[in-house]
Chains A and B, each alone.
Chain A
Amino acid sequence: MEEKHKLLQDCRVLDFSNEMGFLCGKILGDLGADVIKVERPGGDPSRNLGPFYKDKPDPEKNLYWFAYNNNKRGITLNIETETGRDILRKLIEKTDIMIETFPPGYLAGLDLDYESLSKINPKLIMTSITPFGQKGPYKDYRGSDLVLTAMSGFMSLLGDPDKPPVRPTLPQSYMWIGMHAAEGTMMAYYYRGLTGEGQHVDVSGQTGVTWAASIAPSFYDYNKEVPKRAGSFITGRSITGAIMRAVYPCKDGFVTYIIYGGPAGIRTNKQLTEWMASKGMAPDYLKNKDWDKFDIATVTQEEIDEIEAANMEFFKTITKDEFFKGCLERDMLGYPVATAKEILDDEQLKARGMWIEVEHEELGEKITYPAFFTIFSSIACGFWRRAPKIGEHNEEVYGELGLTKEDLLRLKKANVI
């Protein structure tokens, strides 16, 4: 087999992002870019986010940092000093992409914004990621995951109707934003390849999360309907307003099964009825149902409730694993409500080579990570190096600029690196 090619191996990225932008640089790194994570001296504050390796609150043992800063080298640089700015300008000469998450206007105050740096390197692409974007009435407002999950509209669709809306407990917004930032950055990079021109990519965190609300905006756009949170149920499939259960308790947890229409849905409904009948658990009204005539768009809530009541009794008698195997064997739509444990044990992911054991020599241990995001026939997408320690590659990177060990010592004393 032909060896796969690291597409971005000649692309140098300087990554000044906080947790909101980590995934952007990681994705470029997965595709082979030389990504250099730049932290302030002493380390980035985002290293203090949990969870931590063996619960030790140490900035060098932050699992969130490990998760999204692999495939990056690490340096420290204080751009609030004149010397630091000089060094950055030198680095920019050989930089293709700069990623940053500073508040809008901060870099302009240091003469390091896109306008200034593109004079040094007109081919530079700068990707700026902020909660609301570089311009507009909210540009100076701050936003954590909770704020962006709310402002994007995503949160209005999550949670039980009789309780306040919720966010997913593992923050999702930063992943959405980082992914979309990489998308915009790749477009700018492709355009640069065609024209030689760099540009500024302005990513708004709020809009980065909005696609997590899927097609919900179209309900308002079309009919001035406002979709609402419905807990364990899905809405919007029926013009009668009927809602369908999507989470059922089972013997050892929960499963996701949804009554659907369409060819796959009808096949699934038939199969489940047969499965239940084979265990003596299908009531007559299910056995006698003509599923081919079942129409999800016009079904009433009463009919749905009747079917779901029988399903509920059946699922209580099986485990997550039995449910998953049944769905696979019977070609039914449905999956267990998995946790990290089941994901790591999943046969399909194992067969696809999803896991890689990565040596953390500083911890004396190997840690399991996802090995790629997608399989390309010619492009290599992989895990090339663990996340950097604070300033781990100062000597290497600054050495490439011609700085000696003595210079680095002086810079360290001056709190530049």
Chain B
Amino acid sequence: MRREVFEGIKVVEFAAIAAGPLIGMHLAQHGATVVHVESYKRPDGFRQNYPPYKDNKPGLNRSGAFTICNNDKYGITLNLKAKGAVEVAKKLIAWADIVIENFTPGTMKKLGLGYEDMKEVNPDIILLSSCNQGQTGPHAFHPGFGSHLSSLCGFTYMTGYKDRLPCILYGPYVDHIGVGYGVIAAVAALEHRRRTGEGQYVDLAQYEVGIQFMIPALLEYRVNGRIIERDGNKHAFAAPHNTYPCRGEDRWCVIAVFSDEEWEKLARCMGREDLIDDPRFATILARKQNEEELDAIVAAWTAQFDAHELFVMLQERGVQAGVVQTMEDLFNDPQLKHRGFWAPTDHPEVGRVHAEGPPFLLSKTPFAVKKPAPCIGEHNELVYKEFLGFSAEEYDRLVREGVIG
């Protein structure tokens, strides 16, 4: 059997919520040994403060948000504010290849766990810091959450309808951009270390990776002086290009027609060959000019169908179409099932739950989901005794003194 990509790579997370922990999760799903550090005093924010909880009953081990970000990790508690805790943290750092942290900049340093401190106990450590604004600069210390950052990065302004308020993006949208770039940065740093033996410091600002998804809008403004305005589902050179109603409560499909050829195919699907050469719709210019009328005709037709049936029928005949899939649909999606995207695990307190697979499948080293997210402190004994080599007496003392707690 082949080795896993990150077999033998040890990761410690002083991180919470999404931006830090999901980086570790992607590494864990490809074989890394990842230890998630929190404390009873300050559990990961996703365990409290954020639904969903199983059956709507709050509880440290009942959080769906925590579970979807932390499968295949070891969970330990370490109260960094307790006397002697920093020395224990240094043991973890000495053991690790990569440390991931997403505190407000300066927090780790204040604890005596800055990059320089880490290098003293582990000269080739890789430290990846992920925060809102970056570790340096005039706004570095400004704390922030992903939902606000979606607005600062320009995404909110461009989402919704012209005559309405902008729409906020769901959840900490930009955090997840930070996760993708974070994994890329972590692997790059590992590759650098593989070649040179050197560790390094990675200063990832979620704001800066967020604007990577905005570059065309930045160029459009700088070069043409134009701000991209939110415009529903309209597209400058495609029509029909919109969301259309389907049978059932709040069910929708999307159809995107870019060429006259695609328009002909759609009209045939609709049994409306008469529309193909209709001067109102025959060319892209005509379709854009009469878009409202066109949308009304298409919507009246789609409303008769089940969204999934319509999607398959249109795609089979060469029309680009989709279903506005709900979260329920995603769990029933045959394509996602085929890719093993929702990986079942059995959580000791909440039962059967699913981990979300990566967006890519590696042919020789596929991802593997082996266990659910840890309960708080679940792996204290294993990590402190087996991984770090604390004796039973030392371990008991640290528990007694509230360091492990």
Contact = CB atoms under 8 A, between A and B. Distances in A.
Contact of A51 (B18, B175, B188, B216): B216
A190 B218 contact: no
B360 A184 contact: yes
B5 A233 contact: no
B374 interface: no
A309 interface: no
Contacts of B123: none
Contacts of A155: 243, 254, 324
Contacts of B205: 352, 374-375
Interface stretch (B60-68, B89-97, B106-114, B283-291): B60-68
A282 to B, nearest CB: 22
Given A297-B58, A349-B208, A377-B201, A68 B166 contact: no
Contacts of A64: 216
B14 interface: no
Nearest to B353: A221
Interface in B113-163: 133-134, 136-140, 142-145, 147-161
A227 B336 CA distance: 19
A337 B156 contact: yes
Interface string B226-252: 111111111111100111110000101
Interface in B191-219: 191-192, 194-196, 198, 200-205, 207-209, 211-219
B335 A132 contact: yes
B267 interface: no
Given A169-B229, A297-B58, A376-B185, A221 B331 contact: yes
Contacts of A221: 64, 68, 331, 342, 353-354
Interface in A218-245: 218-229, 231-234, 236-239
Contacts of B3: 194-195
A298 B203 CA distance: 37
A379 B170 CA distance: 33
B336 A218 contact: no
A146 B262 CA distance: 15
A213 B130 CA distance: 20
A182 B151 CA distance: 26
A98 interface: no
A164 B243 contact: yes
Contacts of A143: 320, 322
B321 interface: yes
A227 B170 contact: yes
A351 B65 CA distance: 35
A145 to B, nearest CB: 8
A53 B223 contact: yes
A21 B21 CA distance: 26
A145 B320 CA distance: 10
A214 interface: yes
Contact of A168 (B2, B158, B194, B323): B158
Nearest to A208: B359
B400 interface: no
Interface in A176-225: 176-177, 179-184, 186-191, 193-195, 197, 199-204, 206-208, 210-225
A348 interface: yes
Q: In the complex, which range does the number of interface residues on chain B fall in?
A: 35 or more
A401 interface: no
B190 interface: yes
Nearest to A215: B65
A66 interface: yes
Given A63-B223, A221-B354, A378-B198, A239 B58 contact: yes
A223 B56 contact: yes
A189 B56 CA distance: 43
B86 interface: no
Nearest to B204: A374
B73 interface: no
B282 interface: no
A177 B359 CA distance: 8
A222 B325 contact: no
Interface string B356-396: 11111111110000000000000000000000000000000
Interface stretch (B33-41, B45-53, B74-82, B272-280): B45-53
Given A339-B221, A374-B209, A136 B338 contact: yes
B184 interface: yes
A179 B143 contact: no
A135 B366 CA distance: 15
A330 to B, nearest CB: 10
A50 B330 contact: no
Nearest to B175: A214
Nearest to A188: B362
B75 to A, nearest CB: 17
A231 B139 contact: no
B161 A153 contact: no
A91 interface: no
5 contacts: A214-B170, A219-B64, A231-B165, A296-B49, A375-B203
A334 interface: yes
Q: Shortest 4 CB-CB distances between A and B: which pairs?
A: A214-B171, A184-B360, A218-B64, A136-B338
B351 to A, nearest CB: 10
B184 A183 contact: yes
A50 B337 CA distance: 36
Contacts of B139: 328, 347-348
Contact of B320 (A63, A147, A164): A147
Contacts of A328: 139, 142
